[in-house]
Structure formats: structure tokens, C-alpha cells
Amino acid sequence: MADDSTTTTPAGPTSFDTHPSKYRHWKLEVSGDRATLAMAVELHGGFRPGYELKLNSYDLGVDIELSDAIQRMRFEHPEVKVVVVKSAIERVFCSGANIYMLGASTHAFKVNFCKYTNETRLSIEDASAMSGQKYLAAVNGPCAGGGYELALACDDILLVDDGNSAVSLPEVPLLAVLPGTGGLTRLVDKRKVRRDLADVFCTTSEGVRGKRAVDWGLVDAIASRSRFDQAVDERVAKLAAQAEAVRPASKRGPGITLEPVAPSIDGGTYSYRHVTLVVDAAARTAHLTMKAPEGEIPATGDAIQAAGSAQWSLRAFRELDDALLHLRLDHLEVGVVVLHTSGDAKKVLEADAALANNADHWLAAEILAFQSRVLRRLDLTSKSFFALIEKGSAFAGSLFELALASDRIYMLADDDEAVSIELGAANAGLHPMTHGLTRLEVRFQREPARVAQALEVKGLIATERANALGLVTVAPDEIDWDDDVRIAIEERASLSPDALTGMEASLRFPGGETQDSKIFSRLSAWQNWIFQRPNAVGPQGALTKYGQPERPTFGWTRC
């Protein structure tokens, strides 16, 4: 089992709020329709002390900056068509996740770190598909492990041909673990590398370089060091044409400024403008409440543009995203998250409709895409989610997606039918899950006709009808509500977190798979298991012995 005596988990609340002016490891430059993200990881700038970030190896702090940069380019620099990801260090691109950081981390931190880095790289591909911002990996030196996985997330990989620089996924032969950020899946699904060649590649620690890397499909092109910059320019021009096809220049801005969303933290209470998170550590539960918008809702593209990052549709979901990350990284023992909403449900529907009606406006499209990413982050969070629909709730449209993402929905059956839900544009396909289905489609896999039946209902849906439509799990009356909800939460919190994580991940994603869902459903499950195996993290394991003169000792049983 993994040794949890040491950890790189932060002592206090993790900050996910940053800005290019605060970056320690990346430099973002924008020039016209081209941006450059240059990686120069600060040697002694680790997220926690105890290791050095050599050879552009990265940790959570490096990836928080990368995630911020990707998002800022989508909202603040929509004019950008191509982003060049390169190293600012001569003759090295990126050596991947820092091994000593992983070796000193708890199992839970390792898994959540890999999950975050996966989501960051998926956001690169989302930016390419949805925003018309194409990514070029300009690999100017050795590119290993997570560094190559970062390159794989890009649309195009250019490798310097200098006889020394190679791409590699050395985790299996060197560390007895798997590439943690989707590398295996992207090799065969995205780049369609032949299975046998991928097998050789993933068990060859020194990697593949030069023409062979192109022939195998591991990179798109090579260039000598003397003409590397010229080759970058040529490939940027080609990618820019592809980007224009996704989003024409006429629909690219002007950008907006993303305001900070950092919460006020008082003990276990995180207070945002529209979101409140209250953590009860003793009970291993948390209550997360989202408020509906208030005041005038921007209804036109110009009004959405003028409202910028302060508008509810963007601000509230950025706050939800931040709260989910705090739950993952800072409150590992919280097992049950109870979701609440409050306010005027009609305002939620109005805000959703404004985005849907202006989906051809760049900012409305970006907000919709961002809401989808946040909802997918909730789907992929290893916590039990229970939604409570009661008097004063605002579970409608995009906020009802929170309920549909939950493992159970409890809705109060009241005599005067003051408790209700309402469906809208946000429930009809605007926010697909990781595997491409809507949450209503997932809910009604056995009876797909019920999706249309539910969406055909206009106006408020009181508890009795919501229950008949299959939109809620349990509908206790006012006499039983408090006890039924309390017992359900307490029982859930008492169950094995390991078993629940596996159960929830299996139940949340029925239906077919996509590349994205494979990365999480397959990789996360296997990585979770392998990260605890003695061959990797035991006293004689490969991860434990990395950098030491002794070789690891393996147990040879396959299971």
C-alpha cells in the first residue's frame, strides 16, 4: 500500500486563482492571432517544499498556471487562433510530472493531481474544438512522460531533429505505473498509432526520435535545429486556417477580463458571491449552495459582452468550479456533498435562454462551453452528491443539471405544491457529459422516450409529477423529510469511500465511450489501483527507488 506518512497536499486552502502577472513557471505572450506559452519551471518553485522541479518537470502549481492560461486565452484573447506551447529552456521540452513530488505524496493527492492534469489537457482539446484555438507543441528537446502527454493534447507536434531529442512514455519500464494524463488513450485513439508499435514505444524508456517518430505517428513533423523556428511558423499558418474554419475572425471578440473569484474562507465555510460551501469535517459532509441570478439578465449578444465576467452565468459557474477543486484537494475525507439552490428559478431559465439564443456570439458560446466543463468536473469528482429540492429551491435549467449530475435527488412532497423544478434549454443537449450523452439521456437509458416526455413539459413541475416523470429519486412528505434526508446522508457517509468511488464511477456513465471518457473511466481506475501496488510504491517499489542506486524489486503475480 502507499505510504501516506508524507504528502504534498497543502497545509492550508489551495489557491486556484492566479494571473499571468503572478506566474512562476509559464510566460504567456499574445501577438495578434498567435500566442506563445513558454515553459520555464522554477527549480525551487514547488507547490510544496521537499523536491526540485528539474528539467521542466511539473507539479500541481505548474498545472494551475497552465489551466489559468488556457482559460484566459479563451475569454480574454478570443482573437488568438494558434497557441504555441514551447520550452524556454534550451534543449529540453518537459520531463513530465516530478517524480520526487509523486514519491512524497499521499495516494489521494496523486490521484487528484492526475485528475486535475487530465482535465487541464482536455481543456486544450476543448479549446481547439469549440473556440477555434489550435495548439502546436514545439518540442525543442527531450519530451518525456507527462511532457509528451501535454504535447499529445495539442493539435500538432513538431519535434526537433537533432539526433538526441526524443518523445517517450517511460512510466511502465522506469516507475511501474502508467502515464497519468491520457497518454495511452491518445496514442491509439487520437493519433491512431498502431497497437504493436505503441506497445514497443511504451516499454522503451529512451523513447523514439527523428524520422521514426514521424513514421510511427508519434509526432507530425520534424525539423533541424537550424530551421526549427521557420518550421514552427509554417505549421502555425496551417493551424490558423483550421482555426478560422471553426470560428471566423468576425466572431472573435473583443475579449473580456476575468475577475478573481477567490472565496472568503472562515473555518470550513467558503463564501463566494453566488456560491456557499460549508464543510462539516466531523461528519465528513459538505453543503454546497448555488444562488439563482438577481436583477436584469443580459438578453442580447451586446449585453452579454458588456456584462463580462461579472454576469451570473459565468461568475457563478467559475465559483462552483473553484469550490469543487477545494473539495477535491483540501477536503479529502468529505464523502458526501449535499447540493442546494436558492432564489428565483425563472431567472435561471432566463439566463440559460439568453445564452442559447445568442449561441452564435463568441462570449455566449464560451460561457456555455465553460458551464459544460464545470458540470463535467462535478461528474468526475469522487464524492457522493445528493441534491435536496425543497421550499425556496431554484433547481431549474442549468441548476437542475446539478441535480441530474447527482447520485440521488430528494424532492419534498408538500401539500401546497410550492416545491417545483423546471426544465429548459440547458437540459436539452447544451451540456453533454464526458461520453457525449446528456444527463437526461443517461437517466433514461432503459426508456429513452422519457427524455422527450420530460422536455415537453412546460412550466413548473411539482413533486408528484416530477416523481411520475422519473426526475427524482425519493419524494418524502413534510413529516418524513428531515429524518429521511438525515438518515440517507449519515448512511452514505458511513460506507467505504473506496467502494463508493468505484460504484459511482460505474453508475454515472452508462452507454458508449469516447476518448475523454476512456481517459477517466479506464485510466483513472487503473492508475488508482497501480498507485497503491507495492511494485510501484512499496519499500522496494520503482517509484520509491527512483533516483537511488538500488533497483526496485517486483512481485511477479499478475492479477
**pLDDT band at residue 173 under the 50/70/90 scheme:** very high
pLDDT at 467 over 90: yes
The DSSP secondary-structure symbol of 33 reads: T
The full DSSP string for 306-341 is: HHGGGSHHHHHHHHHHHHHHHHHHH-TT--EEEEEE
DSSP run (H or E) holding 478: none
C-alpha to C-alpha distances, 292 to 297, 344, 347, 400, 418, nearest whole angstrom: 11, 6, 7, 11, 17
pLDDT number for residue 351: 98
Alpha-carbon gap, residue 413 to 390, rounded angstroms? 8
Q: All 3 cell numbers of residue 370?
A: 465553460
Lowest mean pLDDT among 24-28, 402-406, 507-511: 507-511
Tens digit of each residue's pLDDT (9 = 90 or more) over 528-555: 788 888 998 899 999 888 888 999 999 9
C-alpha to C-alpha distances, 222 to 141, 207, 232, nearest whole angstrom: 12, 15, 10
Tens digit of each residue's pLDDT (9 = 90 or more) over 493-508: 999 998 998 899 899 9
Domain limits, the chain: 20-251, 264-502
Residue 221: phi and psi, rounded to 5, are -160, 160
Q: What percent of the chain has pLDDT over 70?
A: 98
pLDDT number for residue 527: 72
State how beta strands 96-97 and 285-291 pair.
Answer: unpaired
pLDDT at 4 over 50: no
Q: All 3 cell numbers of residue 269?
A: 465555510
pLDDT number for residue 2: 36
pLDDT number for residue 10: 47
CB 359 within 8 A of CB 311: no
The DSSP secondary-structure symbol of 29 reads: E
DSSP run (H or E) holding 44: none
**pLDDT band at residue 525 under the 50/70/90 scheme:** confident
Tens digit of each residue's pLDDT (9 = 90 or more) over 76-113: 999 999 999 999 999 999 999 999 998 888 888 988 99
CB 65 within 8 A of CB 16: no
CA atoms within 13 A on the CB side of 106: 14
pTM: 0.95
Average pLDDT (239-264) is 95
CB 271 within 8 A of CB 291: no
User: Would you give the distance in Å from CA 53 to the centre of its chain?
Assistant: 23
The reply to whether domains 20-251 and 264-502 share a CATH topology is yes
Pick from 143, 57, 135, 158: which is nearest to 101 by CA? 57
Question: SS3 string of 88-134?
Answer: CCCCCCECEECHHHHHCCCHHHHHHHHHHHHHHHHHHHHHHHHHCCE
Region class of 392: left (phi > 0), else alpha (psi between -120 and 50), else beta: left
pLDDT at 363 over 80: yes
- What average pLDDT does the chain have? 94
**Cα distance from N-terminal residue to C-terminal residue, the chain:** 16
Convert 479-503 to b/e letters by CB count within 10 Å (16 or more is b).
eebeebbeebbeebbeeebeebbee
pLDDT number for residue 520: 84
pLDDT number for residue 558: 86
pLDDT at 332 over 70: yes
Tens digit of each residue's pLDDT (9 = 90 or more) over 110-169: 889 999 999 999 999 999 999 999 999 999 999 999 999 999 999 999 999 999 999 999
The full DSSP string for 531-558 is: TTSHHHHSTT-HHHHTTSSSPP------
Lowest mean pLDDT among 83-87, 180-184, 351-355: 180-184
CATH dotted code for 264-502: 3.90.226.10
Q: Could you count the other beta carbons within 10 Å of the beta carbon of residue 540? A: 14
Tens digit of each residue's pLDDT (9 = 90 or more) over 410-459: 999 998 889 999 999 999 999 999 999 999 999 999 999 999 999 999 99
**pLDDT band at residue 8 under the 50/70/90 scheme:** very low
pLDDT number for residue 192: 98
What residues pair up with 279 in beta bridges, in sequence order? 286
Alpha-carbon gap, residue 415 to 342, rounded angstroms? 20
Alpha-carbon gap, residue 80 to 77, rounded angstroms? 6
CB 272 within 8 A of CB 261: yes
20-251, CATH topology level? 2-enoyl-CoA Hydratase; Chain A, domain 1 (3.90.226)
Grid coordinates 472565496 are at which residue? 263
Q: What percent of the chain has pLDDT over 90?
A: 87
pLDDT at 11 over 60: no
DSSP run (H or E) holding 56: none
**pLDDT band at residue 5 under the 50/70/90 scheme:** very low
